[in-house]
């Protein structure tokens, strides 16, 4: 009988103990999938939402624009840049935008806020959160239209309704104060008061005329990626390309440091929680294997007296840990798949607790609790728990091969 078969049979000499330990591994799989999947889902949603609010996963801008935004810092030759960026395989979409601060005034009140000059022909709901959040009216019909799209709270504070005039005042490319008039053509509601009370969208050509920009001059190019995880590597690649040598190429961590910091802190707490769960699972495996070794001390003595080497005895106990880990992972997979399918497709609606929407750092967060796993996360969970089970069985296996045969045979 080979060691593999013997190790498998040894597991079922105490069925209840084996099943309880395997169940603890399965429970560890379930919790690891839930914690990791929640992180993969929410971090991706938050990063994508932040990117779709103006700056993209990767931002191309004039040097030092991100540190100190100004109408004087202009990105030129954007038509050529757009064509080059669109050829990059990781890029899903790229939009030319003008970003700035302005004072919005109606007949009743003046309020400071932020505006984005956008090209309606380039924008779409998948890459622009404000279009998706539109509740009345719509985007400007052309890039030279004289309309403005306001957040509902900003419109309410200014006491503006559809078709009413609003004056926006800002500084142009020379630093001079300039003003223009636009009519309210649409209202959006993201659910975040911080956003809805301070942001407006304007047609990009109208903004260019007001600021004194040429037709191919903007503030930034917002690059949307198919997968936000590629932003760091793509940024480094673009920085090394000669065509972007005199342009500031930033990823979302640099343009949205508050969001990046919050995600980093949350990831750290998530890792600590998973580490504690892993230690509990490891303790259960260690306890099971150590009890098994101590109970079979006489048996091991007989086996060594009959010629089994300490090395093979160590290998036998390690194989028991191996099969215990495999059994636990199989049970964990069977239990976790229905839970994962439900949570990835339906999820749990938390809007009753948080309202229709809540935000952090100006980024709207999802109120539906869902989970999603990337391939590398699945591999990390399975390999991590499997390795943990083997490591937990190493000490009992070492103990099994260390006791001299004579001492073992004296045990009753």
Beta bridge partners of 61: 220, 248
Mean pLDDT of the chain: 86
| Dihedrals phi, psi of 350, to nearest 5 degrees | -105, 15
Q: Name the strand (E) or helix (H) holding 101.
A: strand 91-105
Greater pLDDT, 354 or 237: 237
Q: How far is CA 305 from CA 10, 200, 310, 312, 378, in A?
A: 19, 84, 11, 13, 44
245-303 pLDDT, tens digit each: 889 999 999 988 888 888 888 888 888 888 888 888 888 888 888 887 777 777 777 77
Categorize the per-residue pLDDT at 226 as very low, low, confident or very high, splitting at 50, 70 and 90: very high
pLDDT at site 412: 47
C-beta separation of 35 from 380 below 8 A: no
Q: CB under 8 Å to 390, separation ≥6 — which residues?
A: 318, 321, 322, 325
Q: CB under 8 Å to 3, separation ≥6 — which residues?
A: 312, 315, 316, 319
Greater pLDDT, 347 or 30: 30
C-beta separation of 114 from 198 below 8 A: yes
DSSP letters, 314-372, are: HHHHHHHHHHHHHHHHHHHHHHHHHHHHHHHHT-EE-HHHH-S-EEETTEEE-SEE---
C-beta separation of 270 from 35 below 8 A: yes
Beta bridge partners of 327: none
pLDDT mean over 301-325: 81
The answer, yes or no, to whether residue 133 has pLDDT greater than 50, is yes
| Dihedrals phi, psi of 2, to nearest 5 degrees | -80, 170
Nearest to 56 by CA among 102, 116, 113: 116
The answer, yes or no, to whether residue 368 has pLDDT greater than 90, is no
Tokens of 56: 């993209």
The answer, yes or no, to whether residue 202 has pLDDT greater than 70, is yes
Tokens of 310: 């300490």
pTM: 0.82
Distance CA 200, CA 191 (A): 15
Helices (H) and strands (E) in the chain, counts: 15, 14
Which alpha helices (DSSP H) does 182-230 contain, by range? 193-196, 204-211
Q: Which of 182-191, 283-292, 345-354 is predicted least confidently?
A: 345-354
DSSP 213: -
Distance CA 328, CA 311 (A): 26
Q: CB under 8 Å to 391, separation ≥6 — which residues?
A: 282
pLDDT at site 159: 92
Tokens of 298: 């006489």
Tokens of 377: 């996360």
pLDDT at site 45: 87
Please give the torsion angle defined by the CA atoms of residues 261, 263, 268 and 274, in that order, rounded to the nearest 10 degrees.
180
């Amino acid at each position: 009988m080979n060691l593999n078969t013997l190790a498998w049979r040894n597991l079922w000499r105490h069925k209840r103990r084996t099943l309880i330990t395997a169940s603890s591994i399965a429970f560890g799989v379930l919790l690891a999938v839930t914690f990791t999947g929640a992180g993969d889902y929410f971090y991706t949603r938050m990063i994508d939402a932040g990117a779709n609010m103006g700056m993209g996963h990767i931002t191309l801008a004039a040097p030092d624009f991100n540190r100190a935004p100004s109408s004087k810092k202009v990105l030129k030759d954007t038509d050529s840049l757009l064509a080059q960026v669109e050829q990059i395989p990781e890029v899903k979409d790229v939009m030319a935008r003008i970003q700035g601060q302005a004072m919005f005034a109606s007949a009743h009140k003046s309020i400071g806020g932020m505006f984005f000059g956008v090209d309606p022909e380039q924008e779409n709901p998948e890459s622009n959160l404000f279009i998706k959040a539109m509740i009345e009216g719509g985007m400007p019909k052309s890039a030279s239209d004289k309309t403005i799209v306001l957040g509902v709270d900003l419109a309410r504070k200014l006491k503006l309704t559809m078709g009413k005039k609003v004056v926006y005042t800002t500084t142009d490319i020379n630093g001079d104060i300039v003003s223009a008039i636009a009519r309210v053509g649409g209202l959006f509601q993201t659910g975040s008061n911080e956003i809805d009370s301070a942001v407006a969208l304007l047609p990009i050509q109208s903004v260019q005329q007001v600021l004194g920009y040429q037709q191919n001059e903007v503030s930034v190019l917002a690059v949307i990626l198919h997968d936000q995880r590629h932003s760091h590597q793509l940024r480094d690649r673009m920085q090394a390309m000669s065509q972007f040598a005199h342009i500031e190429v930033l990823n979302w961590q640099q343009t949205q440091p508050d969001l990046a910091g919050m995600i980093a802190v949350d990831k750290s707490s998530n890792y600590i929680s998973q580490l504690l769960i892993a230690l509990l699972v490891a303790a259960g495996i260690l306890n099971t294997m150590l009890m098994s070794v101590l109970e079979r001390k006489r048996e091991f003595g007989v086996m060594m007296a009959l010629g089994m080497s300490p090395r093979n005895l160590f290998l036998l106990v390690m194989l028991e840990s191996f099969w215990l880990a495999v059994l636990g992972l199989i049970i964990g997979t069977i239990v976790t798949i229905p839970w994962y399918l439900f949570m990835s497709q339906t999820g749990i609606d938390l809007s009753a607790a948080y309202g229709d929407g809540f935000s952090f750092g100006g980024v709207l967060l999802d109120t539906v609790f869902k989970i999603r796993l990337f391939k590398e996360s699945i591999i990390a969970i399975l390999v991590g728990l499997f390795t943990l089970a083997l490591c937990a069985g190493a000490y009992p296996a070492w103990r099994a091969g260390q006791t001299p045969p004579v001492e073992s045979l004296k045990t009753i």
